[in-house]
Amino acid sequence: MFELHPAFAATSHALGDLALSHARLQGDARFPWIVLIPRVEGAEELEDLAAGERDVLMDEVLQAGLAARAVAEALGRPAPKLNVGQLGNITAQLHVHVIARRPQDPAWPAPVWGFGTAEPYDPATLEIALAAARRVFGL
């Protein structure tokens, strides 16, 4: 049975379940940032998914890009670039990061992973960000 690793609950906010993945908004107001966790027990690498699941994940990565861009727009910081990463060096459970980037963001052009310290959303901004992302995902 699939169980979400507790590290995700500690660092991000639930958006809801897509066809394959559980979708979350990273709790870092510096970056519009979606995390997808395929609900497949024991999966740690893309190769642990079936081929059909990988194609669904690719579709969900596309959707997550639109969602991250929508969060960026909703926060008044439109982002021209997307970054996608599947790392898992610290939390092994398979997950994919999709982040909307722009040249004015604090980490640009470096990757966001391991960059400085996450800044929590204030409650009102969090609601705006969650709503923008959920609208794109149809959640």
Q: Does 61 bind a copy of itself (CB under 8 A)?
A: yes
Among the candidate windows 2-10, 13-21, 76-84, 126-134, which touches a copy of itself by CB under 8 A? 76-84
Question: Would you give the DSSP letter of residue 30?
Answer: T
Please report whether residue 50 would count as binding a copy of itself according to CB under 8 A.
no
Dist CA 73 CA 66 (whole Å): 10
Q: What Cα–Cα distance (Å) separates residue 50 from each residue in 14, 38, 43, 57, 115?
A: 25, 11, 10, 10, 33
Binding mask 15-34 for a copy of itself (x = CB under 8 A): --------------------
Nearer to a copy of itself, 94 or 121 (CB): 94
Write down how long the chain is. Answer: 139
Q: Within 85-124, which residues bind a copy of itself (CB under 8 A)? A: 85-90, 101, 108-111, 113-114
Check binding of 81 to a copy of itself (CB under 8 A). yes
What does each C-alpha distance from 41 to 22, 72, 91, 116, 132 come to in angstroms? 12, 32, 14, 32, 29
Work out which of 6, 42, 47, 122 binds a copy of itself, going by CB under 8 A: 47
Give the three-state DSSP class for 4: coil
Q: Which residues bind a copy of itself (CB under 8 A)?
A: 45-47, 51, 54-55, 57-59, 61-62, 65-66, 81-90, 101, 108-111, 113-114
